[in-house]
Every structure is written in structure tokens, then in C-alpha cells.
């Protein structure tokens, strides 16, 4: 589903990704963990082409994103992204946030888009917030709307960048529950997260990154209970 081949990325002189190789199979849930600054967000952003790689190739569903001729916008529609800070459109209601892209880009009929959006809101438990502006939602509600917004484009893959780290502890649960449901339904997901409980419970695989490299990867139980690499051990000791 996703194939990342030998990807390098620098910001100016700062070499952030130093040769990442990484595969995600369909319906797989991969959790990415690692210390701050290790390049987790940058990796996700490269997969979604919000950043251009300096070297290497990235494929989604067999299509090479990094090829100059590829229509990035078409592929982005297949890849949903959920940001740490939600990034909802503040000038649009919940329903409008969710339906904007289907209507304006895919040309979906308005009524149909609204129908689908209400369905999604039911799924994330926010039926009653359809006509509310983001400014009046709590953090957990915002993040659930952001997920619904990404899902409305019916993506094949969902990327999550620390979707709960800006939330109060009480609200984390709401969002994780929605993500769990998605995983159960068979969505392919890459999740950068500090929620080790979630990674352990839902993740099919855990990837540990440090200083621009994938240092260790494996089954959650294996990584959490029996990390082989010293750096993984050190990191887990601080976070768990």
C-alpha cells in the first residue's frame, strides 16, 4: 500500500531523514514512535508530499509520488491526514468542514455530500455538532471532526500526526476510540503517537525512529516488552 524507499530529506544543512525504508500493507496499522526531532512528522509529511524528498522514492498503491509527472493533488485525495493541531477551517461549520473537499474537488452533489457527512458525524459521535463552528468545540471534538473531514474524501490510507497530544487527558479517550473503530473496519493507518497503550492495543506493528533513521521495528509486544536497541530502551523508560 505504502512503500518508502531510501528516502532522504534535509532542511538546509539539517539532515532530517537519513535513508528511510518502510512498507505498509493494506489494512495494516503502523504506529511510529520516537523522541522529539527524530523526523516522525517529516516522514508523514513526505508521504503526503507536504514536503518534497531530496532522495529516494515513495509509492502509494503502486504509483510513485516522487515522480515529477504524478498528479499530487489526485493522490492526496487518497491519503487522509490528521494533524496534531486539528487545523479545522474556523470560518466553516462542522458540516461545511467535512463537505468542502468532496463538493469542491470531487464535485460530489451537495445533498449527497451532506448525507455522507452526517453519516461520518454519527460515526465519530458528533451528530449534534453539525452546525457548530470549530471555535465552539472542545479539543477532542475538534480532532474527531478533523478525522471525519479526512474520511469524507474516502481515502485509502490515513496518516495521523500525534492526534491526541494537544488534548486534555479526558478527551484523549474519545479520539482513540474513533481511531480504534477505523482500524477495526480495516483502514490502512500510519499513526505517529505517544499513546503507548493505543500502540500496544491497536498497532499491528511499531516503528521506532531516532535521528532520522528507523532504529527498530516489530510487533508492539516485542518492542515494548523486549526492546533490543539501547536507544529504544532509553526512550521507553522515559515515556512509559
Site for its own copies in 125-154 (CB under 8 A): 138
190 and 30 Cβ atoms separated by less than 8 Å: yes
Q: How far is the CB of 11 from ligand ATP (least distance, A)?
A: 3
Q: How far is the CB of 91 from another protein (least distance, A)?
A: 5
Q: Are 41 and 28 in contact, with CB atoms under 8 Å apart?
A: no
Whichever of 148 and 192 has its CB closer to its own copies, that residue is: 192
Nearest CA to 185 among 172, 162, 202, 201?
202
Q: Residue 169, interface with its own copies (CB under 8 A)?
A: yes
**Three-state DSSP class for 155?**
coil
For residues 20 and 185, give the distance between their C-alpha atoms in angstroms, rounded to a whole number: 28
Query: What does 165 interact with, of Mg ion, its own copies, another protein, none (CB < 5 to 8 A by kind)?
Result: its own copies
Query: Is there binding between residue 163 and ligand ATP (CB under 6 A)?
Result: no
34 and 208 Cβ atoms separated by less than 8 Å: yes
CB 116 within 8 A of CB 101: no
Report the first-to-last Cα separation within the chain, whole angstroms. Answer: 31
Q: Is 16 in the site for ligand ATP (CB under 6 A)?
A: yes
Which C-beta is closer to its own copies: that of 114 or that of 198?
198
Binding site for ligand ATP (CB under 6 A): 11, 14, 16, 34, 36-42
Binding site for its own copies (CB under 8 A): 35-36, 138, 165-166, 168-171, 173, 194, 238-239
Amino acid at each position: 500500500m505504502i512503500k518508502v524507499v531510501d528516502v532522504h530529506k534535509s532542511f538546509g544543512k539539517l539532515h532530517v531523514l537519513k535513508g528511510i525504508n518502510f512498507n505498509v500493507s493494506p489494512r495494516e496499522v503502523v504506529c511510529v514512535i520516537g523522541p522529539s526531532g527524530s523526523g516522525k512528522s517529516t516522514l508523514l509529511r513526505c508521504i503526503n508530499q507536504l514536503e518534497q524528498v531530496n532522495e529516494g522514492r515513495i509509492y502509494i498503491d503502486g504509483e510513485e509520488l516522487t515522480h515529477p509527472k504524478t498528479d499530487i493533488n489526485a493522490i492526496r485525495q487518497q491519503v487522509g491526514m490528521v494533524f496534531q493541531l486539528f487545523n479545522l477551517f474556523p470560518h466553516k461549520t462542522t458540516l461545511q468542514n467535512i463537505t468542502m473537499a468532496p463538493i469542491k474537488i470531487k464535485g460530489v452533489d451537495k445533498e449527497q455530500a451532506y448525507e455522507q457527512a452526517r453519516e461520518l458525524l454519527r460515526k465519530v459521535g458528533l451528530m449534534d455538532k453539525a452546525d457548530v463552528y470549530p471555535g465552539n468545540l472542545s479539543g477532542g471534538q475538534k480532532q474527531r471532526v478533523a478525522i471525519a473531514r479526512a474520511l469524507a474524501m474516502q481515502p485509502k490510507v490515513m496518516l495521523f500526526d500525534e492526534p491526541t497530544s494537544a488534548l486534555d487527558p479526558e478527551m484523549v479517550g474519545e479520539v482513540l476510540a474513533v481511531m480504534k473503530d477505523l482500524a477495526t473496519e480495516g483502514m490502512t493507518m500510519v499513526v505517529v503517537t505517544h499513546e503507548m497503550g493505543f500502540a500496544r492495543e491497536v498497532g499491528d506493528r511499531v516503528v521506532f525512529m531516532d535521528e532520522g533513521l528507523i532504529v527498530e521495528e516489530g510487533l508492539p509486544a516485542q518492542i515494548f516488552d523486549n526492546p533490543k536497541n539501547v536507544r529504544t530502551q532509553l526512550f521507553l523508560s522515559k515515556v512509559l
